[in-house]
Structure 1
Amino acid sequence: MDKRGKILFIIAFLVILFIAIWFIVFLGTNTKGVITIDSYPKGADVYVDGVLRGTTPLTISGLELGMYGIEVKKEGYETEIYERKLDKNNLKQLIIANLSHMTFTLEVTSYPTEAEVYVDGVKKGFTPIKLEDVLYGKHFIEVRKENFTTWSKEINVEEYKILQIDAELLAKYCTIDIVSDPEGANVYLNNEEQGVTPIKIEKLDPGKYKLSIEKDGYVLYEEEIETIKGETTNRKITLKKADTFVTINSVPVGANLHIDNVLVGTTPYTAIDVEPGIYEVRIEKDGYLPFSTTVEVEKGKEISLLFPLLKLPENNP
């Protein structure tokens, strides 16, 4: 090979070498990668090296070769974290994030206990109760018990692992508890008979009531009491023994009774604490012969009178 040929060969070799070096360097420094991210459920935020790049499904192209930290986040779900490396042998990476719900434990107690617990309208059981794997987010809690007002609260859980709720229930009604000395006295509320002492009157609406307690031989006890929702009103009454006690009855009953010419009622008739003295008593009933007498009332003595009435003959036409 002559000198000119050698020069041409060397020049051609250098050109080829330059092209090869350029090709290696240019392609090596300009090779890009692609990362595709999807999730279930979709719509999750995607962070690459701490920078928000979009929401799933997402394809990020034109990435330099190297290591990347990827976070997939969605409200109410656990964050998924990945590391992916792009190199000449792995220019494409695929990530599918199956997101798990974030949950917490809900513990509900109440006073009184054995109250029904509802979460978002669904009955879960009775207090005290521990509910696990409750989803993060908003929930409506109700605690119900018969004869008590419903306790309710809306919660929005974003960070608790255990949330404790203590519901204090207020009674809808009120109670009156009455004892008397002596026992066995008749009890009336607003003139309606309730029973005899000792007695507990429950499920009363809050408000004012006229309380009356009576027992033969004792002075009538009367009081206006005011009850409060959810509370028990207690009364311990010592009855005062009547100084005088007068009972007047007739056969048949239902006769008009006049005392000192004043109509006081019909038989049977009872009066207590009557002033001592002499009284004129007259008993009248249609179809019967009227009866009149005098009665002496003495302090500290009981008087019980029974008057059989004589039936008048019927007039025959």
Structure 2
Amino acid sequence: MSFKCWNCHTELPEGTKECPNCHTSLEGHIFDGMHTVGPEGNAAQQIVPGVTVAGRYRVLREIGRGGMGIVYLAHDRTMDHDVALKVIPQSLAMDPQAIHDLKKETAIALRLTHENLVRLHNLETWEGQAFVTMEYVDGGSLTQHKLDKGGRIPISEFIPLFTQIAKGLDYSHHINPPVVHRDLKPLNILLTHDGRPKIADFGLARVMRDSASRVSGRESAGTLAYMAPEQIRGKGIGPWTDIYALSAVAYEMLSGEPPFATGDLRWQILNEDPEPIEDLPDNVNRALLTGLSKDKDGRPKTAIELINMIAGEPARPKAASVSASAVKPAPEPAPQPQIKTPVYTEPAPKSGGIKSAVFFILGLIVLAAAGWGAWMFLGNSEPMLTVVSVPAGADVFVDSGRVGKTPVTINEVPTGTRKIRVVRDRYEPFEENVYVDRGKTKNMNVSLVPLFGDLEVTSEPAGATVLINGESVGNTPLSLPEFEYGDYRLKLVLDRYLPVTREFTLPKGGKINISESLVSEFGNIEIASEPAGASVFLDGKKIGVTPYTASDVKRGKHSIKLSLSRHGGYSETVDVPSGGSIKVFGKLSVNVGGLVVTSTPSGASVYLNGKKVGKTPYKSGDIANGSYKVKLMLNKYNDLTKTVSVPRGDVYRLKVKLKQKEVSSKVEKEWERAIQSHYSTPSRAQDKQREAIQKAWSTK
């Protein structure tokens, strides 16, 4: 079977988890319940503090509100940690195009895992409302941080802070395929309580802004202030667009306001250059204006390059043309001359004479005019320093000057001992002092040590949520390539299984495979009795008859009771182990006996504890053992009462002789006279009547 990617519509085999064409996540559980919702009036319950959303997120309090929705602090009861829950405005949640775009951007954002990016968890609907859950960052926004600093951030604090922001942005630009934020601004940069910046709302803020503009016909001026020219034109958007936005944010943090803050912002962004910041060094203003270039090709290629320029790292110099009038005497050689940009020159003629001297002197003057200083150079064009690194693309510094990216060849390096530094983001810097000799080639092959490793997590059964240092990063089986090295605390959580926690250290450039067999939180109880057929009660609730196996019983203490007619009961408290089984056997004792009552004469009524049970001779084999009061009653005989004890599993026999009542002579004479007055000739009918009269008189 096959299906189509919901984003690019590529035909894919069943079970594909990520589209190989557009790299969109195809994990069904993420978006199965996500759809366009109905009007707000159809919502049975609103998302407000005190409400538990989707049976999982307990809303605690509001932490933000704006045109793009309300943000609440909520507690995820499943993962047992706090999250930020952002409610999408109803006008957007009812828009099919907005929901489609949000699904797409959420799938992309779920791939981003970096310490300087806010982690996105999920996009869901509940009770007619759409919402997003993401990592909760508790330190406020960059805007608030600027205000706390008096309206401007000092350059000394700015550099380390924005270096981290740049690393997060470059990470998103260098994954495959690259992810462009397109709505970078101070409100989308959050700070943790210890000051670590995290970029939020990758893609989501842009979709919500664009959809809101399409639905309402209005645009947010707060976002416009950070838009690049190509973004306003609506074409040519790429990582360079985020570089412009980062430059605009940097400009605001250092000056107090964005490059263009009032008036027709669109026209200014497209046509005007920002004013330099008066009290900042020239290199800072040059870097900011370079980042705010109208031409995307004129901006720094990476975010970290922009920050390095602001910090004053010298850019790689370009070849300069020197006019005749600019020729001046060469200055004295500096003690540590700077590195000259790689150039290829014609070798000086080997023959002597005035012509050779003139070319030699002019060559020194050109070097001096280029600002590099003068040193003895014999005209050898053979390469003097070659640096190759694995991986390639690392920045190479000779002494304090950057000379290019690996692989790089530098033609003219001053003779002597030079400090060579090879630097690449997310790799350990390499540094070595090497001696460079004139006329000789120095080859350096550098293997950089990555500041990350590969992490793979599996579980049996699969599907467990993986939390690293309390943050959800996916479900097993999980592969996390290029995960930052260090010490971590891992937790696996799966419904109906005990959570597993372990600590591990991911080494630089190493790989760790973590595989855990999860133990069920439930166990089994195997219950039997002698004799069989007893009713089984678990914690007071009848669940079956013996023999019986109670499955999926939650671990811990439980009460077991057995009950069988004519038998004594059985009870036991058991401790059910996780993922294990426990046996219960109850031997039930018979708790009834027999009672046989005979009398002379027979026919006496038998009463047990006041209740008539029959006449003598009386037999019963199903009487609960114990003490009973037996009473016999027969006409013309005295009542007889006896207390008997019915034994368990045995028969008690009661045999009695009843004593006839004594009738007075007066009663007998009256009886005889009554009979004679009614019947002169005896007959059978008369005999019966006589008996009736006798009975009546006998009760007197």
What is the TM-score when the length of structure 1 is the normalising length? Answer: 0.49
Question: Could you say which structure has the higher helix fraction?
Answer: 2
Question: Could you say which structure has the higher strand fraction?
Answer: 1
